[in-house]
Amino acid sequence: MSKHVAVLMGGWSAEREVSLRSGEACAKAAESVGYRVSRIDVGHDIAAVLAALAPDVALNALHGRPGEDGTIQGILEILRIPYTHSGVLASALAMDKAQAKIILAAHGIPVPEGRVVTRAEAARAHVLPRPYVLKPVSEGSSVGVFIVREDQEHPPQELHRPDWPHGDLLLAERYIPGLELTCAVMGGKALDVIEIQSAVRFYDYEAKYAPGGSVHILPARVLPKIYQKVRMLAVRAHDALGCRGISRSDFRYDDRTGDESGLFCLEVNTQPGMTETSLVPELAAHAGHSFGELVRWMVEDASLDR
């Protein structure tokens, strides 16, 4: 009898629409390789829904909170349902960008200089020398991210919105010019490195998920020593946070330096996107894994927290 896989998608985060696309793609792929699939648009009753459904495996295609921050992982642990991707602690750490940076830096992984500020501080005056980046501490998919340019006299006006939905803590970081690079880790081993060229001013939500929003260059056009350094750091970051399954680490590389001093890790994604424009399926395909094979690997790798 084939495994019964519950694909968790949707939810109520700012990344709901992307999660629905990731979940549907994964559900179709899982069906194509022989699994029995139940699609679940996650609501606040998810514990009761899962307890009644009793699947063999939960394929977690949620993005943002509560699916990526350890909350859903905790529910699945209590219900003893094996699940894909990272466990409770790794998910919570990676979702909190400020805490993740502390862990990464302690493991010798270069990260941009920065500090945590309140939204009120960031809205009132520049919190770092320009140019710098402002991002919510606990959001993904570049939701709520601003690049404050050298010629920008005032902080982003959007920060004054009374209905600002992304929390009151922001991470302010020095802007790293140059190349956007990303590398996935699958089963503890690094895949290849993609260089991302955005069709807009930076690799924001639209560039990530709109068709034509960005161009992916695989393999990335960097020196071999930088290419291998990215792969090594992606594995080190995956291990430092205690990730399992598949993760994806994002980097900036100031190629004017010509050496490793220009390379910085921005963040680790414990649940990378699985849409038609997503990076991990592209990296897996480059390594010889079809999308169906990738999803099968994720399902068979699912476990409870170790």
Catalytic residues: 15, 141, 278
Measured CA to CA in angstroms, residue 72 lies from 28, 39, 247 at distances of: 22, 16, 17
Q: Two tokens at 79?
A: 């219900």
Measured CA to CA in angstroms, residue 58 lies from 68, 102, 284 at distances of: 13, 30, 21
Where is the binding site for Mg(2+), in residues? 250, 267, 269
What is the 3-state secondary structure of 231-253? HHHHHHHHHHCCCCCEEEEEEEE
**Of residues 255, 243, 302, 306, the one with CA closest to residue 84:** 302
In terms of C-beta density within 10 A (0-12 exposed, 13-18 middle, 19 or more buried), how is residue 28 classed?
A: middle
Where is the binding site, in residues? 250, 267, 269
The whole-angstrom separation of Cα 148 and Cα 146 is: 6
The whole-angstrom separation of Cα 66 and Cα 10 is: 11
